Amino acid sequence: MSDKQPAQVQPADDGAIARAVHVLRSGGLVAVPTETVYGLAARADCTDAVAAIYAAKGRPDFNPLIVHVADVEQARELALFDDRAELLARHFWPGPLTLVLPLRPAARLAPAVTAGLPTIALRMPAHPVMRALLCEAGVPLAAPSANRSGAVSPTSAAHVAGSLGNAVPLILDGGPCARGVESTIVALRADGGWKLLRPGPVSAAEIDALLGDAAPGDNDTIEAPGQLASHYAPGKPVRLNAARGAPDEFMIGFGDIGGDCTLSARGDLTEAAARLYACLHEAAASAKPRVAIAAVPETGIGVAINDRLRRAAA
Ligand code: TXA
Ligand code: MG
């Protein structure tokens, strides 16, 4: 942690985790590292705590939150877990997969968490700091990405402090996020089909290999309301698939195409995902009024990277 960071940023050691558990149990907000991006956490069963998340982010109230759980048992208490959910949880939890499932009517949650939908988005994260918080707090935690609504997602404690400022009283610094893009979101439907709502570190092919090709092509009624066209935006025009940057453009390179910074000089997609938001934050902070970004292959985690880049450019 550099001495330039504000006082609310604390290294995520045992003492800070204990303070965070106290804040969370009391209904407060804490920004926490996960393996994907930093989340803005609050207890999901507390109406005021959930309202504080929406207020701090400036998030529209029709956009529901992901609820994070300590284990599969906690997930089963909140949602109707069918065989497909069990199978996916067994393969990918803890990890970067969010399941959208039918909400149990008796689940004790703040109604705003699901924005009034009959479904709930659930994820069991892998990051040791987030897992410690979930286990010690003993309640499910709602946690959207810890940025102002529509802005670039945070993959470091400094990104959180820069985006949310004093709106969040405590930020646990766990270093940079290893994955760098948000979890894959999959909706499991009552009719046996499934749908990818947001591409992420777990690929559609991996889901398909387990569930089979059961997704019906029509009846697309479940959507991720938060997947707005413009999102992850650095606040200036963004040009995609650029071969080189113009003098007034902050150029983000990839592979052989260089720039003011690079997603991955060796053309590695895993590294590119981990560095994506840091590069966009750098572009946002630069004096140059425009951003240009080299092409990224649409394979593996590249699908999620390109999804975020298209929304950053929209
Ligand atoms: O990796 C992640 O998932 C991170 C970390 C912090 O866990 N969280 C995250 O949350 O990305 P957020 O709020 O930025 O994105 C949640 C997405 C939104 O697009 C929202 O619309 C969708 O999940 N979502 C939540 N509940 C849903 C539901 N019941 N049905 C469909 N989409 C839902
Ligand atoms: Mg987000």
Question: pLDDT tens across 280-305, in order?
Answer: 999 999 999 999 999 999 999 999 99
Q: Round the average pLDDT of the chain to a whole number and report it.
A: 93
Clarify whether residues 46 and 172 are in a common domain.
Answer: yes
Clarify whether residues 142 and 194 are in a common domain.
Answer: yes
Q: Whose CA is nearest to atom 31 of ligand 1?
A: 224
For residue 267, tell me if it sits in a domain. Answer: yes
Q: From start to end of 180-274, where are the E strands?
A: 184-188, 194-198, 238-239, 249-253, 261-262
Q: Is residue 262 lining ligand 1, measured as CB closer than 6 Å? A: no
Q: How many angstroms separate the CA atoms of 259 and 65, rounded?
A: 36
What is the pLDDT at residue 220? 47
Report the percentage of the chain scoring pLDDT > 90. 87
What is the pLDDT at residue 215? 59
For residue 222, tell me if it sits in a domain. Answer: no
Clarify whether residues 25 and 147 are in a common domain.
Answer: yes
Q: Give residue for tokens 């956009």.
A: 63
Q: Report CA(121)–ligand 1 centroid distance (Å).
A: 7
Q: How many angstroms separate the CA atoms of 161 and 93, rounded?
A: 29
Clarify whether residues 151 and 111 are in a common domain.
Answer: yes
Q: Report CA(15)–ligand 1 centroid distance (Å).
A: 29
Q: ∠71-77-81 over CA atoms, to 5°?
A: 85
Q: Report CA(144)–ligand 2 centroid distance (Å).
A: 6
Clarify whether residues 157 and 243 are in a common domain.
Answer: no
Clarify whether residues 179 and 94 are in a common domain.
Answer: yes
Pairing mode of beta strands 141-142, 39-43: antiparallel
Clarify whether residues 200 and 273 are in a common domain.
Answer: no
Query: Which mutation among 185, 186, 202, 220 tests ligand 1's pocket best, with the greatest number of atoms within 8 A of CB?
Result: 185
Give the ligand with the smallest distance to the CA of 178.
1
**Domain tally for the chain?**
2
Clarify whether residues 255 and 206 are in a common domain.
Answer: no
- Asked if 224 contacts 63 with a C-beta cutoff of 8 angstroms, the reply is no
User: Each residue of 232-249: pLDDT tens digit?
Assistant: 889 999 999 999 999 999
Query: Which mutation among 68, 78, 145 tests ligand 1's pocket best, with the greatest number of atoms within 8 A of CB?
Result: 145
For residue 1, tell me if it sits in a domain. Answer: no
Q: Is residue 64 lining ligand 1, measured as CB closer than 6 Å? A: yes
Q: Give residue for tokens 């997969």.
A: 97
- Asked if 8 contacts 169 with a C-beta cutoff of 8 angstroms, the reply is yes
Clarify whether residues 174 and 89 are in a common domain.
Answer: yes
Pairing mode of beta strands 9-11, 171-173: parallel
Residue 205 phi/psi, 5° resolution?
Answer: -65, -35
For residue 220, tell me if it sits in a domain. Answer: no
What is the pLDDT at residue 3? 46
Clarify whether residues 186 and 56 are in a common domain.
Answer: yes
Clarify whether residues 63 and 145 are in a common domain.
Answer: yes
User: Residue 285 belongs to what domain range?
Assistant: 238-313
User: Sheet holding 290-293: strands in order across?
Assistant: 238-239, 290-293, 249-253, 261-262
Per-residue pLDDT of the chain (314 residues; tens, 9 = 90+): 444 567 799 999 999 999 999 999 999 999 999 999 999 999 999 999 999 999 999 999 889 999 999 999 999 999 999 999 999 999 999 999 999 999 999 999 999 999 999 999 999 999 999 999 999 999 999 999 999 999 999 999 999 999 999 899 999 999 999 999 999 999 998 888 999 999 999 999 999 999 986 655 444 444 666 566 678 889 999 999 999 999 999 999 999 999 999 999 999 999 999 999 999 999 999 999 999 999 999 999 999 999 999 999 99
Taking the whole predicted model, whether its pTM rises above 0.75 is answered as yes
What is the pLDDT at residue 230? 72
- Asked if 170 contacts 30 with a C-beta cutoff of 8 angstroms, the reply is yes
Q: Is residue 294 lining ligand 1, measured as CB closer than 6 Å? A: no
Q: 190 is written with which tokens?
A: 């009552």
For residue 85, tell me if it sits in a domain. Answer: yes
Q: Is residue 94 lining ligand 1, measured as CB closer than 6 Å? A: no
Report the percentage of the chain scoring pLDDT > 70. 93
